[in-house]
Structure formats: structure tokens, C-alpha cells
Structure 1
Amino acid sequence: MKIEEAYSYDYMDVVDAEKAYELFWEGVIKDKRNFECPAQNCKAQITCSNIDKQIEEMKNTPHFRVYGEHSDECDIYKEIKLAELDVSTEKNKSRTSYLGSETDIFTTERPKNHYHTRKESVKDNDDKHKGIKTSIQTNRDNSLTKRSPEFYSIRPLISKFQRHSKENNLSQRFIKIKGYDVSYKEMFVKIDNNELDKLSKYPRIYFGEATVYRKNNSDFVVRFASSIIDADVKYKPSLYISNEMINSYYWKHKLQTCLNELASNREKQVLVFVYSKPYKKDRFLNFYIDTLDLIDFRYL
């Protein structure tokens, strides 16, 4: 059985691999090996493979891998052994997990103190981490429902969307936004001659092949290859990314490199995801975003 969750020394909480990836690129998690088995009576060391790679460099999505030894008392280790004997049950798996697997929380605005609180220096202190793990496990055991993973960018949601697609369970997995549950199937909308008046009035994650153009030397325009139709007229939606928006973003150096490469090589196929809703103005149909957490690029 794969390890789906791990305790992060840097974040001081239990996370899944998608959250670990988000936190690594935010600079909160410093090392892909800074993880441990979440069980309070176990110190098995864990690494999160691929979180230090950009998406286009990955052969596999981010995932946890144990490179230490579980304690004999570790419930998670016992569940792994049962799985190897093919006698594991969903009940046992649920009992040993810390995070819910059916619903993810997407917070479209980061708390103002998000980086400040998470970037505090964390010294190696076994007693401190053991106490935190004990508290997390106690809260899990006392709670009637599992804690849902929480994300501030669409990048990890895209990875989960791709995984849920392969597992054919998009309708059974949900994203909670502002208190409302939306299935992954409903949230992700492929741009493919959709009729504008039939699209949701709420933002969704639209995606499709696109080309990136440089504008005014420092700004960029993303133009989708497929269309959205309004009154029998086909519009190829666009998205404007200003230099000011790039410079105010925590991931600006990586994103600037990506945009420069795409603008310089327009023949390179890229899939663009954007959390927004299309709006028509004059002869154009556009998406609008106020933070670059709401867009991502995946090479085909």
C-alpha cells in the first residue's frame, strides 16, 4: 500500500503529496526528504518524490516513498502488511488516514499572514514534533469526519483532476469553494466550442491548448486554440498577464521563465488551465484573473 500522507517537519502538519508540492514551490517546505510517518509512535523517514521538479520534467506525479523503517507498533505499517497479504479493508484504511479523500478545499485568497506563519524557523526538536503529531492524531481519533486538504492554487487540483480522470471517479470527488461542493467533473471545463449561455455563471477551471504571446515586451497574452460560441459567432478566448502581476507573485522567477520560453517557441504545445469565467466585451471574449495562483501551464 502506498503512503498517501506524511508529516512535514517544515509545515508541522500532515499533508498529501499535492499539498507538499504546493508548499515546496512556495518555499515553505525546504527539502523533499523533510517528512516522517504521521503515526505518533513511528519515526519512519519519508521523501516526497518529484516535488522539486517542474511539471514538464516529471515522469510521475508527486508521491511519498518510505526510506526509513516503521516501528512495529505503527498502525500505518500494520495496514501496509495487511495490504501485502491482500486482507486490507477500507475500514482499516479510513481509520489510519488523517485526510479525507473525497473533498478538497480551494481557498481563492491566501491569508495575509500565510507566508509569515509558515516560514518561521523550525529547529530539529523531536519532542516538539512528537507533541504536534500526538495532537493531530488525537484530533483525528476524536473527529467524526476527516480533515479535508486545503489548497491556495489550482496546480495541485489539476494533478488531482488528472488522477481522478484515470480512476474514473470525477463525479465522486469534490472541491469545496466558499462553502459549496462542486464535483471535479463539473469544475473542470474543456474549451471546445462551448455555448457561452450554457456555461456556469460561477468561475470554473477552463482548460485547452493555447499559445502565449509577448505584448509590450514585459506583458503576455494567452490565446486558446478552441472556441466558445455566442450567437453563432466563435470566439477564441484570451487571458492577459501583466508584468505587474508577475512581479508581485511569489513564484515569479519560475513563471517568468515559463512564459518567456512559451512566447519564444509558439510551436510548443501547452495546455493552459485557468480558474475564471469568460466574459464578452465588444468583439472579444476573455478570462480575467487577479492572482497567478489561478492559472497553470502543462506541456503536452
Structure 2
Amino acid sequence: MSIEEAITPQRNERLTAERAYELYWADLLDHDATFTCVGTGCSAPLICACLDKPEQNLRIRPYFRSRRLEDHAESCEVAHGRGEPTAGKQPDVFEAERPADHFRATTAAAQADPAAVPARRVATGAGTGLKPRPSHYYRLSSLVQKFLEHRRDKDLAEATVDIGGETVTYEALFRNIYRQKATDLLGTRAVWWGTASLRATKEGGYYLRFSRPFRHDDGELRPTITLTAKDIDAYPVRKLLRARLDKLIAEADGYCVVFVWAKPWMPKDAEKPFVRFYVNNLDHIDVRGPEILEELKNTSRVGT
């Protein structure tokens, strides 16, 4: 059984599996961190699956699970499915910026204070319980994973996400760069994706060049992305980012698939035209291995 939220005494915090994963890779959650159920009157121990995996399985996002169903209390609506009927689907939410204290380290004193532990949701009577909430994400990697899940469920045109203040379908949001006309799309922020080559730079950053091009006049332009060492060193989840990129260079010779939430950019007066994606927030890029290509066949919109 997949469980969305848990409580961790280490941080006195109720959190999603996605947040637990990020905190672990930001060195703010220990490898042996414990988690318990959020159900009414329940303290069943939970495991966070995939917590220490630098690469995400194509079919699985981080999630909590129980060791045994019987560990849950009889009053636990998480395990036993009691509560309000499932409401209509709500859009996922992709947050463009993290809160300033998103990776705030907790103090030992706060960890030791039982009163600081957030209260579990308490059922107030028959017919009440855990209400579904929209999923909030900060890393594009999580949104890509949802995109793949909706693709498998064949509901890309119905599933929606609130991103940048607008609600769009996953089908409209994800766009393959191949053969689209660059000058028509310079103001279009989307999740652009395509195959690319990846290499490390001498300065400690990374350089990505897409394999397939945008169209421009009678020619073709292959967009590029530069991830600077300065930006990476300032990124709270840099340990995870470097682990994934270095593994792709070592095992796939840098051949990868890139997703980036950005607008294509072209200089107005350059001697030779080129296209670049600027990534000021490293949460807005996701780089994956070539095995994902089978999942992506005929998945997203391609301009004519």
C-alpha cells in the first residue's frame, strides 16, 4: 500500500515522501530516519521507499509503505480506507520557488520536544476523515514522473497542473523541441524536452547540447544549457544532481534526455543565430538516462 504522508520525529514534521527524499539528499534527514503513520490514533512504523536512490525508477516515485497492515490502529483511516468519499481530481501544483525555510535544519532541542510534533488529522465522527489535497512539487523531476504516469494511464489530455499561475494539461505543458520553429516560441514557457549530450566542464559545471534541433529559417539550431559550478554549489539538493549527472557521463557517455521548464532564448544581434535555455533555478531541470525514450514515444505535442 502506497501512503502519501508520514510523521518523522527527527524533524518533528509531517511530510510527503517527496519532501523526505529531498531532505535526505540535502543531508537534513538521516539514512536511518524513522517515519510513523498520520492516521487517527495510529503510530504504525513506515518505510520511505527509494529514499537513497540517486536515480528514479521510471515507474516509481518515492513513497511511504507499511511493513504490516496489522501495525495500524483500528481507527486509522489511512490503512482502512474510512473517511469521506474521494473528491474530484484536483490539479497538481508545481511551485516555481521554494519557501525560504524549506531546507531549514532543525535543532536538537526542537527534536526533543514532543509538543512540537504536528498533530495528526483527527476524525470528528462517522463519515469524516482524511480529505484529498493537491500534490505540490518543487523539482521538475517529480512533475516528469507524474507526466509518465499520466501517459501510462492515457489521461494526459485530462490531467492538469497549476504551473506559473496557470492551469494546463500535462499534454499541453510537455513539448518536444524537435523541428518546432524557434522564433515562434521565444515567449513560450513550457517543459521542453529532447535527447542531448552531457559533459562536465573544467570549472566544475555541466554543459548540455540537444541532439535534435529547432527550426530557424532554412536551417536548424540545437539549443544548449549551461549549469555553472557556482549555481550547483548553491543548490540545496546538489548532492543528488551531481550523482545523477556523473552517473550518466560514466555509464551512458553523456547521452541523456533533458527536460527543462523555461523559454527558448535567441540573441537579437548575434553574428550567428543560436538558441539557449537559461536555468536560473536548478529545480527546473531534469536529466534522465536514454532508457526513458521508450516511455516518451508519441507522448507530447510536436509543432508542425
Deviations 1:231-253 (A, max 9, x none): 23211110011121122112334
Distance 1:18 1:200, change over 3 A: farther
CA contact (8 A) 1:106 1:151 kept: yes
CA distance in 1 between counterparts of 2:199 and 2:146 reads: 29
Structure 2 counterpart of 1:204, one-letter code: A
Name the Cα RMSD after superposition: 3.2
User: Which letter does structure 2 place at the counterpart of 1:72?
Assistant: E
* d(CA) in 2 for partners of 1:203, 1:120: 40
Q: Specify the alignment match of 1:119 in structure 2.
A: 106
Residue 227 (structure 1) shift: 0.9
Residue identity over aligned pairs, in percent, reads 24
Q: Distance in 2 between matches of 1:284 and 1:226?
A: 13
SS in 2 for 1:94: coil
The answer to whether the aligner puts 1:240 opposite 2:226 as a matched pair is: yes
Amino acid at match of 1:94: T
| Structure 2 equivalent of residue 8 of structure 1 | 7
Structure 2 CA distance for partners of 1:49 and 1:253, relative to 1, 3 Å: closer
2:6–2:38 Cα contact (<8 Å) kept = yes
Deviation at 1:276, TM superposition (A): 0.8
Q: Which residue of 1 aligns with 2:76?
A: 74
Q: Which residue of 1 aligns with 2:119?
A: 132
Matching of residue 94 in structure 1 with residue 80 in structure 2: no
- Where 2:133 maps in the other structure, the secondary structure is coil
Q: Structure 2 unaligned runs (5+)?
A: 292-304
Give the 3 Å change call, closer, same or farther, for CA 50–93 of structure 1 in structure 2.
farther
**Cα displacement (A) at 1:142:** 9.7
1:141-220 equivalent positions in 2, closer than 5 A: 146-199=132-185, 201-220=187-206
Equivalent residue number for residue 85 of structure 1 = none
Match of 2:24 in 1: 24
Following the alignment from structure 1 to structure 2, what is the Cα–Cα distance between the partners of residues 294 and 189? Answer: 15
TM-score, length-normalised on structure 2?
Answer: 0.77
2:207 to 214, 221, 225: 221
Query: Do the aligned partners of residues 105 and 27 (structure 1) sit closer, same or farther apart at CA in structure 2, a change above 3 Å counting?
Result: farther
Task: Decide which structure has greater helix share.
Answer: 1
Q: Single out whichever of 104-113 and 41-50 deviates more from structure 2.
A: 104-113
Q: Once the 2 structures are TM-superposed, how far is the Cα of residue 28 of structure 1 from its aligned partner?
A: 4.2
Whether the aligned pair in 2 keeps the contact of 1:18 and 1:159 (CA below 8 Å) is: no
C-alpha separation in 2, matches of 1:94 and 1:76: 13
Structure 1 Cα separation of the partners of residues 174 and 228 of structure 2: 25
**In the TM superposition, what are the counterparts of 1:250-265 in structure 2 within 5 Å?**
250-263=236-249
The answer as to whether partners of 1:276 and 1:287 remain within 8 angstroms in 2 is yes
Range moving further from structure 2, 101-110 or 119-128:
119-128
SS at match of 1:123: helix
Between the aligned partners of 2:101 and 2:199, the Cα distance in structure 1 is 34
CA shift digits 1:217-268 (9 cap, x unpaired): 4332100111111223211110011121122112334433444454566635
1:106: which partner in 2? 94
Q: Provide the rounded CA distance (Å) in 2 between the counterparts of 1:175 and 1:262.
A: 29
Structure 1 pair 103/34, CA: closer, same or farther in 2 (3 Å)? farther
Which whole-Å CA distance do the structure 1 matches of 2:242 and 2:77 have between them?
Answer: 45
* Structure number with higher strand proportion: 1
Query: Structure 2 CA distance, aligned partners of 1:20 and 1:206?
Result: 27
Residues 1:265 and 1:62: Cα distance change in structure 2 (over 3 Å): closer
Query: Offset of 1:127 from its aligned partner?
Result: 6.1
Equivalenced residue count is 278
Measured after TM superposition, the shift of residue 284 of structure 1 is 0.9
Deviates more, 1:48-57 or 1:194-203: 194-203
Say whether the 8 Å CA contact 2:205–2:228 is kept in structure 1: yes
Cα distance in 1 for partners of 2:107, 2:154 equals 40
Distance 2:147 2:100 in 1: 28
Gaps of 5+ in 1: 81-90
Which SS does the other structure have where 1:51 is aligned?
Answer: coil
- TM (normalized to structure 1)? 0.78
1:5 and 1:233, CA in 2 relative to 1: closer, same or farther beyond 3 A? same
Select the structure with the greater relative contact order (CA < 8 A; seq sep ≥ 6).
2
Alpha-carbon spacing, 1:265–1:236, altered in 2? closer, same or farther (3 Å): farther
